């Protein structure tokens, strides 16, 4: 995967800032040491879970029913263990 930011007008302070941030993002995406996606480990159930989001439960403080692993929140309002 590769990301190259398009050139922007760097004359303004905002332009310089945005360009700098895009360069940081591009450098991280192209980092060969990145082997996957890092997820936040949840130690308690989120206050307002959203459908379509994966949550990684620590399995001790918060397990959502099936221990450590990924869970998704359904539109019906239930946790489903993904793996």
pLDDT exceeds 70 at position 14 = yes
Question: Do 4 and 28 have their domain in common?
Answer: yes
Residues 71 and 82 sit within 8 Å (Cβ to Cβ): yes
Question: Do 31 and 2 have their domain in common?
Answer: yes
Question: Do 42 and 73 have their domain in common?
Answer: yes
pLDDT exceeds 80 at position 73 = yes
Question: Do 18 and 28 have their domain in common?
Answer: yes
Question: Do 72 and 47 have their domain in common?
Answer: yes
pLDDT exceeds 80 at position 21 = yes
pLDDT exceeds 90 at position 24 = no
Question: Phi and psi for 54 in degrees, rounded to 5?
Answer: -90, 135
Domain range enclosing 12: 1-35
Question: Do 14 and 51 have their domain in common?
Answer: no
Question: Do 41 and 31 have their domain in common?
Answer: no
Whole-angstrom CA distances from 72 to 41, 45, 52, 68 are 14, 12, 7, 13
Helix or strand or coil: residue 53? coil
């Amino acid at each position: 995967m590769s990301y190259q930011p398009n050139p922007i007008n760097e004359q303004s302070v905002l332009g310089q800032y945005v360009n700098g941030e895009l360069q940081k993002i591009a450098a991280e995406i192209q980092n060969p040491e990145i082997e996957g996606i890092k997820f936040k480990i949840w130690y308690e159930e989120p206050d307002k879970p959203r459908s379509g989001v994966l949550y990684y439960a620590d399995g001790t403080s918060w397990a959502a029913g099936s221990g450590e692993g990924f869970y998704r929140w359904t539109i019906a309002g239930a946790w489903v263990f993904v793996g």
